[in-house]
Structure 1
């Protein structure tokens, strides 16, 4: 299930003034005094993600921007919706916005997907080393780790093993920027900047999704692919 927010800035400021940690903080603060109020402090999968703010241009007074939050947990989306539906103003960090609209909706799973935020995977999480195509050159490792992570989250959420036949995806086309697949995303937390490395994809395709596999692909579409989903990474949209 998904929640789309359309909001209008009340002043001009750079796009990067609102980073992913800012949005995560907005979501957690919105959930205070709900059944999800302690989610941030619980050491487990959060089962939600969100898109990059779009369009990805500088904020201009009066020009609307949008954000989509997704989760397989309908109660989570309902809790956010109930807290936001009657609001006129929201804050993302120090910036105030007019909340133009809040809309709940669901999307059916398709065979083809596009990323709405970079997919992040660790090469070695003990060393805090991210997988980088430019350095590691191993699409098989990327696919294997991506599937392992998705299966682990699915099992944690449903308490069962998913059925997956063949590869997680049969066709993958990256979005290349400046000749590279890797994307470096700057995050600021408590005033301290750090960088997360991911990759963006204009096509992730499974040639045939069986009836038995549909639940799994619906899950990863709603929950996100890869790691750091609750920080707004791995957001997927279906393609016709």
Structure 2
């Protein structure tokens, strides 16, 4: 399930909020709900959010998605009670708030970079342009998705074959694929490295795999989902 949040800009200028500020906004909206302790729970958070984009009406907009519809409903209920909200230190009006579902497709694009660790103990991110190991990338994506699925549903699941059969990365103007996102937490900046994708496609999703692919469509790919990474948009092909 998804939630679209479009903002009003009072002074006519918009500076994209830091991802940690957006995460903090989401947690603050949920503090009086059953999800109020989610931030401190030592578990997968089971939500993600997209990068900001400007919609057709010129409004700064972002999407929040989760496989847990009650999470989206709780967030929707909290925000709809307010005319304005703070994201970081900036105050914004709420122009549009809409919860919705999307049909499952066999192809996806990323709405925020996909992040994976090459070596988590050394805080080393996987860099596709540098490491040039697509098989590692796909295997790690699959392993991470299976773990999150099992944790969410309480049932084991092993996907047969690769998680995607066809992948096309989004190449930056400098010819590189990897993107460096500056995240600021408690005033301290740190880089998060990921990659954006024009296409992530599974040629045939079997009936018994539909639940899995719907899950990853809503929970996000890779790591650091609750910090706004790995957001997926289904696309028709």
TM-score tier, shorter chain, comes to over 0.9
In the alignment, is the contact (CA less than 8 A) between 1:162 and 1:213 conserved in 2? no
Measured after TM superposition, the shift of residue 165 of structure 1 is 2.7
Partner of 1:173: 168
In the alignment, is the contact (CA less than 8 A) between 1:143 and 1:168 conserved in 2? yes
CA deviation string 1:196-223 (max 9, x = no partner): 0000001000000011100000000000
Answer yes or no: is 1:105 the counterpart of 2:100: yes
Measured after TM superposition, the shift of residue 63 of structure 1 is 4.7
Answer yes or no: is 1:193 the counterpart of 2:189: yes
SS in structure 1 at match of 2:221: coil
Cα distance in 2 for partners of 1:14, 1:124 equals 36
CA deviation string 1:109-146 (max 9, x = no partner): 10000000000000000000000012211000000011
Cα distance in 1 for partners of 2:53, 2:22 equals 13
Partner of 2:5: 5
Cα distance in 1 for partners of 2:198, 2:134 equals 16
SS in structure 2 at match of 1:83: helix
Partner of 1:213: 209
Distance 1:162 1:189, change over 3 A: same
Answer yes or no: is 1:202 the counterpart of 2:201: no
SS in structure 2 at match of 1:98: strand
Measured after TM superposition, the shift of residue 160 of structure 1 is 1.3
Partner of 1:59: none
Cα distance in 2 for partners of 1:192, 1:14 equals 22
Partner of 2:225: 229
Cα distance in 1 for partners of 2:192, 2:13 equals 23
**Aligned Cα RMSD in Å?**
1.4
Measured after TM superposition, the shift of residue 171 of structure 1 is 0.3
In the alignment, is the contact (CA less than 8 A) between 1:117 and 1:233 conserved in 2? yes
Cα distance in 2 for partners of 1:77, 1:133 equals 33
Q: How many residues align?
A: 234
Measured after TM superposition, the shift of residue 163 of structure 1 is 4.8
Partner of 1:67: 62
Instruction: Note the residue ranges of structure 2 that are not aligned, 5 or more in a row.
Output: none
For residues 54-203 of structure 1, the aligned pairs below 5 Å read 54-55=53-54, 63-177=58-172, 178-203=174-199
Cα distance in 2 for partners of 1:197, 1:15 equals 21
